[in-house]
Chains A and B, each alone.
Chain A
Amino acid sequence: MIQFELEHAHGHGIVLPELKIGLDTRFSQHLIQVISHAHADHVPHKTKRPILASPATIDLMIARGFKGDYEKLDFYTPFETDVARITLFPAGHILGSAQIFIESEKGNLLYTGDFKYPASPVSEGCFFPEKPIDIFIAEATFGLPIYKWKPQEFLDKSIVDFAKKHLNNGYTPIFLAYNLGKGQEVMHALAKAEIPMTIHDAGFELCKVYEQYGFHLGNYKKLGDSSHQGRALIIPSNALDSGSVQKISKQKVAYVSGWAALEARRQQMIIDARIPLSDHIDFYELLRVVEQLKPKKTYITHSPNPDMVCYFLQKNGFDAQPLGEHERGEDS
């Protein structure tokens, strides 16, 4: 089996010491750093060597100010080192998000990064290697049986209905959605209904990358530009308190996130609607994926309750164990 270890106890990255590969590691330590996707909690601070990631991930990172060296690696195209082969598979989480598949003399390892199955409609899909998996390292941000996502069509309809209802009543519908990934999912839904949008400035640049990769995001402009009249507004939660948003007197706010499944978020965030659209896999799909892949060994990471997921996997006859303990920060 391939040997691996956590970069540090509460960090994100995983190090494969023998193969000199780092998966989402913060520091290069003379490793080949492979980055699963462009969310800030997975992107390294400093790089001594070029990082390896999917072309869309690299472009998104650059749009967010990444200045290091890189090498773009297409999906399904192996990258050979002298001791290992690295292949990226689409993870369905956000544009460019990849599962990282490592093969060596000692066997193989599939690291999901953040993933969603069924995939986000504004991603390249979610596909797994066809080879039998030895080690499967899966994230389980929503690894509790209370989390079961509603179908995409239902959630898209909730988004469109919320926007239409409040636009008709003369309100500005505001969607609190993370700049990268969730924001574009909301836009994708609104674009199909031909609802014009205003986007937070930081998200705007990222949308261009989505367009480059062929995802149509509809009629949108920057927040700074002018009036929001007759438009849906898409901003990250922390921008709700900003001056330009506060001055919109008639507004209705929807929180779009997996965490919106929880009732407590209503009072915590002061919102008019919760739309539980996540870009992570839910508990039930995760069990199904393990059932389908039948890995020799499963490790659960990035979960507030890794023990729980392992408990269910073990009950289903799988060899599973938690890997570190995490609380999720950025987007979910």
Chain B
Amino acid sequence: MSESDYIVSFKHFAETAQLIADTRSNSEKAEICAYYLKSLPDSANQKLAVRFFGEGAFAAIEKKRLSIGHKTIAEAACAFLELDYDYVFRACKTATGSSSEAIEKLMEAWPIGIQKRSPELHSLSEIAAFFVHLADIKSKEEKLRELHRLWSTLTPVEIKYAIRVMHQYSLRIGFEEKSILRAIASAFSQPLEDIRYAHMLTGSLEKTLERSGKDTLQEVQFSFFKPLAFMLASPLHTVQITDFSGFICEEKFDGMRCQAHIADGKVELFSRDLNPITESFPELQSFFLNRGLDQLILDGEIIVFKDDEILPFQLLQKRMGVKKPTKALLDEFPVAFIAYDILAEGKELLIKKTLSERKLYLETVSVTHKLPISLSYSVQTLDDVKSRFDIAREHGNEGLMLKRTDSSYEFGQRGNQWIKVKEPAGSLDTVLLYAHAGSGKRGGYYSDFTLGIRANHHKKNEEPYFVPIGKAYGGYTDDELRWLNKEIRGIILDRFGPTLGLKPQIVIELEFEEVQLNKRTKAGYTLRLPRFKAIRHDLSIYDVDNLDDVKKLYEAQLHRKRLKNFVEPFLIFPTA
């Protein structure tokens, strides 16, 4: 093996990934990756490396996928190792919390895994070519044969990372896109801000890297119909602020975030996860065009708005995901797009301008083209924030957004420039019914819990029985999680693979954002974002809330009296 063969090998990549995984500091991780990128001889190898680090087997913009699931890989590994899936592999996976880590360890320790492999070096491009080859194979047997052929020439750590790359998701080394961009910036001595900007516009790590190498970052242009990453807000309780004078305040709509691109007689709407959702909202499409809007990118919210009132998110849900909605649906749940930011106008991207400047642009567009926009208010003290918050809640909105007037639009960032003020919709006393083994960083612990609500009435002499109402995987402290893991040992009724069925005993006060109707569940309702508020050692299963309580919360949410917009308005809806 020559030094240069190793440099461009997948083994070098995998060992670098492991080194990054085994390093705690983010800046050190980025430096290790930068050093690795610099060691690679050319841009072709560097591009493959960043693809494998951040995008998977194929470049993100290729939209190509290896149609090979986790279960197939695990079965392929069991066949290779000659181990039983149900008896052996499942338990190994549960213990590690990661199928690929279990495979790595078995390849290293299990005698057959050792015997069947004689590692040799593969270049990054050979591995990339292998993925293309694998994607073209139709038959499952053939795929398994090819995987076995590859594995027989790899080391365990290479096998683990090859699997993670194939799954087209994070390598689980605590090194996400942000960090890869940092490494590229460091490797090519470019300003991080420029790298991030170029990456947002190219949507590709490989292209960003290529531009960085050639010093052509400035040439990257934005184009319409390619969504920009949304700027996000931090919750108020995570930031220490008492003086709000640098902020403006808007109501946080009870709707869905949306980015609208309007250009050349075309409209495209993108959801929070940057997927197109235009087809579900045809009236918005015609609305924008009828108002003569053009060459704009707007950030805002889709809400159900009727008779000068914002209607609950539950009703908007009836429109979400429905492509080509019927006229009846359109009439019953009419939606509006309320803009609160403007990201581009004409050929100019506005994201580097301050919020005050962008608001001026937006107001001009609103006046000229009768575009509905949110209204902002100034606040000084926490008391101002509180009184605004109460008004927002009376309108039926979720709470407030506080935004720094001098901030630029920090795409893809959750910083302290935008702050959200919310409070949980409610809480219920529930009982622990199932515990699910965690994966990733919660591997080896039961970390996800299904909570139950009482399904019969609180009568004397009647044993309570419970139906699931939600699954929570947060809100507890580390100590509470350890306590739960210890405690559930004694109350196991059943085992279903990584899931434990528990004797109802432990009462959990659950906090959530909202009660939603869900006909597919036994309870008929689900909770949005449920999380632990407290372990109620003081309560017994006889104190658990019942379905009537859930129903009451739901009805209260839906039918609560809403203040119309004209009282302390939160948006302007100009009529054409």
Contact = CB atoms under 8 A, between A and B. Distances in A.
B95 to A, nearest CB: 6
A273 B24 CA distance: 8
B22 A308 contact: no
A10 B83 contact: no
16 contacts: A144-B95, A145-B92, A145-B106, A145-B110, A146-B92, A146-B95, A148-B108, A263-B98, A263-B101, A264-B97, A264-B443, A272-B24, A273-B22, A284-B109, A327-B486, A327-B489
Contacts of A266: 21-22, 24, 174, 441
Interface of B: 21-24, 83-84, 87-88, 91-92, 95-98, 101-102, 105-106, 108-110, 172, 174, 438, 440-445, 485-486, 489-490
A66 interface: no
Contact of A264 (B24, B98, B106, B486): B98
B474 to A, nearest CB: 14
A274 B109 contact: no
Contacts of B444: 259, 262, 264-265, 268
Contacts of A144: 91-92, 95
Contacts of B108: 148
B115 to A, nearest CB: 14
Contacts of A261: 105
A218 interface: no
Contacts of B485: 327
B209 to A, nearest CB: 27
A146 B95 CA distance: 9
Interface string A262-297: 111111101111100000000110000000000000
A325 B91 CA distance: 14
Given A267-B440, A272-B23, 12 more contacts: A10-B489, A144-B91, A146-B102, A147-B105, A263-B443, A264-B442, A265-B444, A267-B174, A272-B24, A325-B489, A327-B489, A329-B486
A4 interface: no
B91 A305 contact: yes
Nearest to B81: A145
A311 B85 CA distance: 13
A262 B101 CA distance: 8
Nearest to B92: A146
Contacts of A262: 95-97, 101, 443-444
A271 B174 CA distance: 13
B92 to A, nearest CB: 5
Nearest to A283: B109
B455 to A, nearest CB: 29
B486 A148 contact: no
B502 to A, nearest CB: 14
| 10 closest Cβ pairs, A-B complex | A264-B443, A267-B441, A148-B109, A146-B105, A272-B24, A146-B92, A264-B97, A305-B91, A145-B110, A327-B489
Contacts of B97: 262, 264
Contacts of A311: 84, 87-88
Interface in A59-100: none
A142 to B, nearest CB: 9
A50 interface: no
Nearest to B108: A148
A274 B91 contact: no
Contacts of B23: 272
A304 interface: yes
Contacts of B102: 146
Most A CB contacts (10 A, CB to CB) among B24, B95, B438, B486 go to B95
Given A304-B95, A308-B91, A264 B109 contact: no
A321 B127 CA distance: 45
B171 to A, nearest CB: 11
Given A10-B489, A311-B87, A327-B485, A146 B106 contact: yes
A319 B110 CA distance: 22
A254 to B, nearest CB: 11
Given A144-B92, A145-B92, A268 B441 contact: yes
B441 A270 contact: no
Interface in A127-182: 144-148
B477 to A, nearest CB: 12
Interface residues of A, number: 31
B456 to A, nearest CB: 30
Nearest to B103: A146
B445 A268 contact: yes
Contact of A263 (B21, B84, B438, B489): B21
Nearest to B83: A145
B542 to A, nearest CB: 25
Given A146-B92, A264-B96, A270 B109 contact: no
A268 B96 CA distance: 12
A325 B22 CA distance: 33
Given A263-B443, A265-B444, A308 B87 contact: yes
Contact of A10 (B22, B105, B490): B490
Most B CB contacts (10 A, CB to CB) among A265, A266, A307 go to A266
B341 to A, nearest CB: 35
B442 A268 contact: yes
A329 B21 CA distance: 27
Nearest to A271: B24
Contacts of A148: 105, 108-109
B42 to A, nearest CB: 32
B93 to A, nearest CB: 9
Contacts of A268: 441-442, 444-445
A10 B105 CA distance: 30
A278 to B, nearest CB: 14
Contacts of A326: 489
B110 A264 contact: no
A222 B560 CA distance: 64
Contacts of A265: 444
Contacts of B440: 264, 267
Nearest to B113: A145
Contact of A270 (B24, B96, B172): B24
A140 to B, nearest CB: 12
Most A CB contacts (10 A, CB to CB) among B91, B102, B442 go to B91
A192 B87 CA distance: 43
Contacts of B101: 262-263
A273 B441 CA distance: 15
Contacts of B92: 144-146
A327 B489 CA distance: 8
A270 B23 CA distance: 10
Nearest to B489: A327
Contacts of A145: 83, 88, 92, 106, 109-110
A283 B111 CA distance: 12
Contacts of B22: 266, 273-274
A304 to B, nearest CB: 7
Contacts of B110: 145
A267 B23 CA distance: 11
Contacts of B105: 146-148, 261
A10 B488 CA distance: 11
A178 B490 CA distance: 25
Most A CB contacts (10 A, CB to CB) among B21, B92, B174 go to B92
Contacts of B24: 266, 270-272
A146 B489 contact: no
A267 B174 CA distance: 9
Nearest to B109: A148
Interface in A239-269: 259, 261-268
B505 to A, nearest CB: 14
B96 A146 contact: yes
Interface string A18-48: 0000000000000000000000000000000
Nearest to A272: B24
B500 to A, nearest CB: 11
A283 B91 CA distance: 13
